[in-house]
Structure 1
Amino acid sequence: MRVLITGGFGFLGQRVAGVLLKRHTLCGASIERLVLADRFVPVGSALAADPLVDVVHGDLSEHLEEIFVRPVDVVVHLASAVSAECEADFDLGMSANLDTTRALLEATRAQSATSGPTPRLVFSSSVAVYGSDPALPLPPVVSESTLPTPQSSYGTQKRVCEQLIAEYTRRGFVDGRVARLMTVAVRAGKPNAAASGFLSGIIREPLAGLPAVCPVGPELRVALASPRRTVDGILRIAEVERGPGGLEGGLPVNLPALTVTVADMLATLRRVAGDAVADLVTVAPDPAVEAIVGSWPAVLDNTRATALGLRPDENFESVVRAYVGDHPDAVTAGNGFGAV
């Protein structure tokens, strides 16, 4: 089996790749090659040096012919421009998110048309496909049957891609699966340009002894998932078979959500890491960020994900402790996590 991960050196891409390299299997078959495609490849990457890995460095749309010169069995499509940068640069979002996905779908279609295997494609969509339209406010609890009315360029681009994948799947060009991701927190590493990036930053930076700004009111409710649960969800959507007891119909799957307020998050940080750490966070509302993140639903019906064996994180403290356990070097000494 040959597996392609787009955005393979991004935060989630590296985690998905790491799991697959430990397992050496996907969908019940042995992985012969793992292709990691990304515009940025970290210098000295252990993933890049793995003998099972092929690295494709550069713009994905310019390397599809090279990638598909040999059959691809599974695609995990994670490459994306993120929310705030899409809002700031419309053309970037349309190119990186919509045009590149369309080109990738055409590559899978070409492979299917030449008697190659029909690739199984998992697309990382987003809770940002939902939004509260003045004519159709969001219900208190959102499910896959709720009409998506995105209120950002990013959410619109993700929604269009969902529909394209459904159509290519209906026509038999690809076996497409859509996983709608919640905001992933706590993300390790440097801040990115996602509007929701502060939901990691208000935990990650203080734990590292650095100040952080919270650009929304503490009363805002958000839907979160830890990196561990998110990767579990992506791989489950990749592997589940179609039909009764598996993946039925063409609807996306909303990955399980933990609903918390920003105040809950900050209180958890204070309780488990101490006052000195929590006091590094300053609340300074930014209307542009509030408009984007506040348009997303906070409470989701997890029924469809639960039927596939997926569960939300237990509580926000478990999310923080998982981050500390995975990244002990990113936490300064002398706070409440010294014994973790």
Structure 2
Amino acid sequence: MHVLIIGAAGMVGRKLTERLAKDGAVGAKPITKLTLLDVIEPSVPPAFKGESVARAADLADPATAPAIVATRPDIIFHLAAIVSGEAEADFDKGYRINLDGTRFLFEAIRQEGMNEPYLPRLVFTSSIAVFGAPFGDTIGDEFLSAPLTCYGTQKAIGELLLNDYSRRGFMDGIGIRLPTICIRPGKPNKAASGFFSNILREPLIGQEAVLPVDDSMRHWHASPRSCVGFLLHAATLDTSRLEGRRNLSLPGLSATVAEQIEALRRIAGDKAVALIRREHDPAIQKMVGGWARDFTPTRALALGFKADSSFDEIIKVHIEDELGGSLP
């Protein structure tokens, strides 16, 4: 089996690559070739023993997608995107990467199958940002997609394209609306939601973090470990069970900032909590406040997707996976 990961140098892409290298298979099918693509050259984990290709290329370049699709990967993970805050700040860049790049990829798959049958499984990472206020207490599977940001709009268009290209038999696609991934390892990025990770990640290693929103802000989260699990499950799911509705809101954990902080206190104590500095940012408060806070993902749960059970668990996953199993 040939697996292609687009966006392989990002946090989720790296973790997915490491998991695939460790397992050596997707489901019961061995991986014989692994192709990694990003705007900076990704790294192939030493644990992977099959054929591998890692290259730097921009999916928004019209020549990129046809070249990589010509190698006919069996599974394509499309993770590449400009994050929410950056997509809002740079209108042209957001649409070029998040929309044009996605369309180029889907169209390359269609063209590849014109002369000889080709039907890859394509897993597209969408976002809960496809939904917009006003919200009820929870968002069900029938809630209207009406995004309030450029990023959400770009992801919503991607979902519609995925559904249509799959309906026409050009690919076997599934779109998964990821919760905000928390705790993200590494350094802060330009995502408007980045502070959800920052206020936990930095205090856990004795560093100050800025909290730009009210403690009452509620949001929908999943750990990086759960995210990788979502991707692998989507890659092996019998898509006939989707009944033509190819995009899913995934399970997660709804929590307020205050609940996050109390979980941090239970795990790391008052000293860690004291490192959170409140510095209100009205723009971030408004943007994140326009996102969905809680979900009832009935379809995804019935299809076997699973997420974290508590914020204590999310913090412990971060300590295990990123800090060697213990606090500094």
Please state which band the TM-score falls in when normalised by the shorter chain: over 0.9
Deviations 1:115-171 (Å, cap 9, x if unpaired)? 142111110000000111xxxx22221122101110111000000110011111111
Could you tell me whether the CA contact under 8 Å between 1:112 and 1:118 is conserved in 2?
A: yes
1:99 aligned residue: 100
Residue of structure 2 aligned with 1:47, choices 45, 48, 51:
45
Deviations 1:158-195 (Å, cap 9, x if unpaired)? 00110011111111111110000000000101111110
1:195 aligned residue: 192
Counterparts of residues 67-216 of structure 1 (less than 5 Å): 67-132=68-133, 137-216=134-213
The TM-score with structure 1 as length reference comes to: 0.91
2:57 aligned residue: 58
Could you tell me whether the CA contact under 8 Å between 1:144 and 1:252 is conserved in 2?
A: no
Number of equivalences? 325
2:6 aligned residue: 6
Q: Which runs of 5+ in 1 are unaligned?
A: 334-340
What stretches of structure 1 move > 6 A for 4+ residues in a row?
A: none
Q: Secondary structure at the match of 1:196?
A: coil
Could you tell me whether the CA contact under 8 Å between 2:83 and 2:190 is conserved in 1?
A: yes
Could you tell me whether the CA contact under 8 Å between 1:168 and 1:174 is conserved in 2?
A: yes
Distance in structure 2 (CA, Å) of the matches to 1:227 and 1:292: 23
Letter of the aligned partner of 2:84 in structure 1?
A: S
1:240 aligned residue: 237
The TM-score with structure 2 as length reference comes to: 0.94
Q: How far does residue 65 in structure 1 lie from its aligned partner after superposition?
A: 3.1
Q: Secondary structure at the match of 1:190?
A: coil
Q: Say if 2:309 is the partner of 1:311.
A: no
Q: How far does residue 242 in structure 1 lie from its aligned partner after superposition?
A: 2.5
CA spacing shift, 1:322–1:27, aligned 2, 3 Å: closer
Q: Say if 2:254 is the partner of 1:278.
A: no
State the percentage of identical aligned residues. Answer: 40
Could you tell me whether the CA contact under 8 Å between 1:128 and 1:155 is conserved in 2?
A: yes
Distance in structure 2 (CA, Å) of the matches to 1:40 and 1:207: 29
Cα RMSD after superposing both structures:
1.7
Q: Secondary structure at the match of 1:177?
A: strand
Could you tell me whether the CA contact under 8 Å between 1:144 and 1:251 is conserved in 2?
A: no
CA spacing shift, 1:114–1:26, aligned 2, 3 Å: farther
Letter of the aligned partner of 1:326 in structure 2?
A: D
Q: How far does residue 274 in structure 1 lie from its aligned partner after superposition?
A: 1.3
Could you tell me whether the CA contact under 8 Å between 1:207 and 1:331 is conserved in 2?
A: no
Distance in structure 1 (CA, Å) of the matches to 2:267 and 2:5: 36
Could you tell me whether the CA contact under 8 Å between 2:5 and 2:35 is conserved in 1?
A: yes
